[in-house]
Amino acid sequence: MNTLHLSDNETLLITLFDWARAGWIRDLDAAFADQLARLAPEADGPCLLAAAMVSHLAGQGHLLLDLTTLTTQPRSLIAVQAQEAMPELPTPDTLIARYADTGWEKALRAWSAVGTGTNGNEPLVLVGSTLYLRRYWQHEQRITAAVNARLEHVTDWPSDQAAGLLNRLFPPDAPHADDVRWQKMACAIGARAPFAVITGGPGTGKTTTVIRLLALLQGLTRLANQPALTIALAAPTGKAAARLNESIAQQVAALNDIELPDGTQQSVPTEVKTLHRLLGARPDTRHYAYHAHRPLPYDMVVVDEASMVDIEMMAALLDALPSHARLVLIGDKDQLASVEAGAVLGSLCQRADEGHYSDPTAQWITATTGYTLDTSLTNSSGQALDQAVAKLRHSFRFDSQSGIGHLADAINAGNAKQANAVLADSSYQDLAHLSLSATAPYHKLTTTAVAGRKNNSHARGLSHYLHCIQQTDTRPGLDDDKTTWDSWAATILKAHSTFQLLTPLRQGPWGVETLNERIEQALIRGGWIDASAAERHWYEGRPILVTGNDYGLKLMNGDIGITLNAPRHFKNNTKTVPKEENGLTLRVAFPDGQGGIRWVLPSRLQRIETVYAMTVHKSQGSEFSHTALVMPDSLSPILTRELIYTAVTRAKHTFTLLDTHREVLTRAIERRIERYSRLFAVSDQTNSPHNE
């Protein structure tokens, strides 16, 4: 293109759109810079480039653009592989180098599209050397203010009453009492703090802890002759909500065996809602029925799987939370951050490993639990947020003989050498590593996905749930009622949850789209699904993943269902359907979160995909008896320590790694997700009454 008569800005914008066509940035990023060039035309090249970059980073989950990083480490902001470079296009680092002598901050401050955030409505906000999209700066400010307001206060329960209740919930003379000491201390911390975070790895008892915390708070409220707290339980996705529903029912039932103040057990809720449903999401908008001017009708909200909550959702939740209401967040800080922008739980838990508990907090823990904190977890100058964060440090799922546990620990530590050693150790019965052939890479993969691993009852494959479907002696008949059909479908869904193949990627030879096709063909060859039905896309046994919320069908993003032949009309006691009007038809069975089944006709499902294979991101909030992770044959920007850790810890009993090059795993473990943010930066935290 002849650019002799184009201005520098026009040439830059053309370059940005070329980058978008090359896939280096999004069309949205280039369009954002182009729009600002029209609205505020006094901008120079560095301003427009910074605008495109802050938009691009938002798409990568970051909240801000650090101008120092822009000039010193431009390659860290846009990952352009050497083989992707095009001779006719300047790469991001070379283009940024052209502006090396530019005073970025001075240029941006002079641009009318940039404000300081305190006043005005400029689309960009500059704070020091960091540039924000305005909405992310606002979210960060609102979250920080709401959390700090709660951290200014502690609840002064009588320590003797709290100790008495905690000793009933966690008897000091019970077997393995020392193993639950971290749960007991987490309850003590959570009872004192109007805002609290409970973090821990898989099997550390996060659900047990939060239910005992709720029982503790309701018991203390009863002893204080106050009305019972109204409590809401929530999770980011329908899948996570359903899983929490199942585990909570058992934990609440266990409270019946504990002597607590009258009515305590009955005041602990068992129903879990998605955050969207809790806030009253309005379809196709970013608005909710509950907000700052119409707060939620609760005294306390508990959010599970908080690592999946992005900054926008967290801001909306805190906006809608009454000022007196408690908030408790539960999650694994080492898991993948939310798909959308922000890493709220990770920001909250930056110092969780070291504790940093102040003297008053340590004294409260000792007075209420009987445990004395190790000095490595105390800090007389501990920050306000530190006093509200509890880490569970004992895993009940992975003991010293667990290869999965040792592998997860090595990954978390970024120790790729140790992780590879664990994978190579044949003494671990719960781990397997399979090298994929360069000539026939999919053969061993599809065999594992279909059949699982021999001589290991926990390492089943997809054939397990398909075998359950094909067993005619257990299938209900047309004369059976819906309850019977629901029970059968629940058995199939449980069987399906015993195995899941995971991949980091959506597209390409190792992405879910390709793997789903490959596995479907392998199942056809094995006689597990009908070839002619598969050609029509809908067939019995097809697993379905919901990829978008459908409020009309009460299905949420992440819900998984199985396609089954079921009656057109279920038998019930109020209506008789003539046999000639009934018969079997394909329906998709989804768990309804209340122990029942929601049956949906395929024609009513809109945003769905087949889910023999699933991305690691989509697997968050789920657990499977056997999880297999297939690694791509080359390094990708999304391959990080957190992603590998998340995949490994989806496995309850068995984990299988399938790869072609071990170097890819090694490099992934050595890389961490770094999301640029100033949310809860340690230097920004203020002192609190905990430290006075």
Q: In 3D, which of 134, 141, 192 has the Cα closest to residue 314?
A: 141
**CA distances in angstroms from 118 to 147, 249, 318, 408, listed in the order given:** 19, 47, 20, 44
* Calpha distance 618→113 (Å, rounded): 37
Length of the chain equals 692
Rounded Cα distance, 521 and 509, in Å: 15
Q: Where are the alpha helices (DSSP H) in 103-180?
A: 104-109, 134-151, 159-169
**Which amino acid, one-letter code, is at 560?**
I
What's the order of all strands across the beta sheet hosting 114-115?
64-66, 130-133, 124-127, 114-115
Measured CA distances, 394 to 110, 434, 606 (Å): 54, 30, 43
Rounded Cα gap, residues 248 and 302, in angstroms: 12
CA distance 397 to 568: 42
Alpha-carbon distance of 69 to 60, in angstroms, equals 16
Taking a C-beta distance cutoff of 8 angstroms, is the pair 17, 1 a contact?
no
d(CA 221, CA 217): 6
What is the SS3 string spanning 267-292?
HCCCCEEEHHHHHCECCCCCCECCEC
58 contacts 341 by C-beta, under 8 angstroms: yes
**b/e code 85-111 from CB counts within 10 Å (16+ = b):** eeeebbbbeebbeebeebebbebbeeb
Q: Which residues are annotated as a binding site?
A: 200-207
Other Cβ atoms within 10 Å of 213 Cβ, number: 28
Q: Nearest to residue 585, comparing CAs of 562, 566, 561?
A: 566
Where is the binding site for ATP, in residues?
200-207
Contacts of 440 (CB under 8 A, 6+ apart): none
Burial class (CB in 10 A: 0-12, 13-18, 19+), 447: middle
Residue 33 parent element (H or E): helix 27-39
